[in-house]
Structure 1
Amino acid sequence: MTIETGRPADCSGRPEKECAVYDLLERLDISFTRADHPAAFTMEECEAVSQALHTPICKNLFLCNRQKTAFYLLLLPASKPFHTKEITAQLGCARLSFAGEEQLASLLHLTPGSATIFGLQYDTENRVQLVVDRDLLDEAYFGCHPCINTSTIRLKTSDVFDRLTHALHHDYTLVTLKGE
């Protein structure tokens, strides 16, 4: 695993959506550390990356209602389990379940295993509501994929929730998940 500061020196051979994340972070003057690694589809596979970057990797869940008319990107600590009853009670909405690959691709331009806050740059109609577990805000750093699961970046949490969300034109709703 390679740890670097900032974007790759050469983005050729990398997906356009990954390079768009680096462009966005540079425009916002947000510094970051990056780890390139084999594809990580599960939080267990992200554990080695988390240790290498010395930061917790955020769990990102793309959810929808039964009618597939309301969509949510839920960010929570990797160690917390997801219980739909707990989140729907706090959001005051109908039961949520995982959205399909088609919606993930069409709304956020992402594939399974690469859900990330950076996908919101493609949600120009604000169809996806960003939901954040309060415990994430207590961390100094925030780790997530840059729209591809073969790389992970580490940013200051304050940069994510003060500057990045504003630039992406997505406010967020705070929830407190017990994970029990």
Structure 2
Amino acid sequence: MELYKGRPETNEGRLEREIRVYDFLDDHGIEYWRTDHAPADTMEVCYEIDAVLGATICKNLFLCNRQKTQFYLLMMPGDKPFKTKEITSQIGSARLSFASPEDMEKYLDIRPGAVSVMGLMNDHENHVQLLVDEDVMKGEYLGCHPCVCTSSLKIRTEDIFGKFLEAVHHDMIKVTLTGE
């Protein structure tokens, strides 16, 4: 795997949802680096990508309440265990579970295995609330998928939580997860 600055030289073989991410980042002056790889649908593969990116790879979980009326994208360090009870009291929503692949595609235009903060650019009506574990914000760079699991991006943390969120008109709720 190699690290390249910016978008691929050609769009050939790339899905439209991935190309839209590069267009969006370029249009908003957000600097990024990219690596291409085999499908990264497990955290183990993500750790290999992490070594190439030199960035914190996040575990991204797409969650919903029992009634499926509230949706959440949780960004947390990949090595931290997720305990539902830790987050429910912090956001005032009981009985969280994983949202369906259909809702993931409907609101974020992402399929399982490629969940990423980049999907918020597709959530024009703000159906999804971003939740961010405080540890995610400590690193200089973040690693995330460009809405596909065959490429990964390295972006400055401050650009994700500044320029990017402002451009997609989303805010975030900072949460504290211990994994205990």
Both structures adopt the same fold (TM-score exceeding 0.5):
yes
Letter in 1 for 2:60: N
Letter in 2 for 1:167: A
Partner of 1:29: 29
Partner of 1:57: 57
Partner of 1:17: 17
Does residue 140 (structure 1) correspond to residue 140 (structure 2)? The answer is yes
1:64-103 alignment runs, 5 A limit: 64-103=64-103
Q: For residues 121 and 95 of structure 1, what CA distance do their matches in structure 2 show?
A: 27
- Offset at residue 42 of structure 1 (A): 1.2
Partner of 1:45: 45
- Offset at residue 46 of structure 1 (A): 0.6
Q: For residues 172 and 94 of structure 1, what CA distance do their matches in structure 2 show?
A: 19
- Offset at residue 12 of structure 1 (A): 1.9
- Offset at residue 43 of structure 1 (A): 1.1
TM, length-normalised to structure 1: 0.98
Count, aligned residues: 180
Per-residue CA deviation, residues 129-161 of structure 1 (Å, 9 max, x unaligned), is 001011111110010000000000000000000
- Offset at residue 72 of structure 1 (A): 0.2
Does residue 179 (structure 1) correspond to residue 146 (structure 2)? The answer is no
Gaps of 5+ in 2: none
Does residue 115 (structure 1) correspond to residue 112 (structure 2)? The answer is no
Partner of 2:161: 161
Per-residue CA deviation, residues 93-149 of structure 1 (Å, 9 max, x unaligned), is 111010011100111111000001111111111110001011111110010000000
Q: SS in structure 1 opposite 2:63? A: strand
Let me know the Cα RMSD of the aligned residues.
Answer: 0.8
Q: Is the 8 A contact 1:40 1:46 kept in 2?
A: yes
Per-residue CA deviation, residues 40-99 of structure 1 (Å, 9 max, x unaligned), is 111111111000111121110000011111100000111111111001011111110100
Q: Is the 8 A contact 2:6 2:32 kept in 1?
A: yes
Q: Is the 8 A contact 1:2 1:37 kept in 2?
A: no
The ranges of structure 1 where at least 4 consecutive aligned residues each deviate by more than 3 angstroms after the TM superposition are none
Q: For residues 72 and 153 of structure 1, what CA distance do their matches in structure 2 show?
A: 22
Letter in 1 for 2:8: P
Q: Is the 8 A contact 2:56 2:136 kept in 1?
A: no
Q: For residues 137 and 46 of structure 1, what CA distance do their matches in structure 2 show?
A: 18
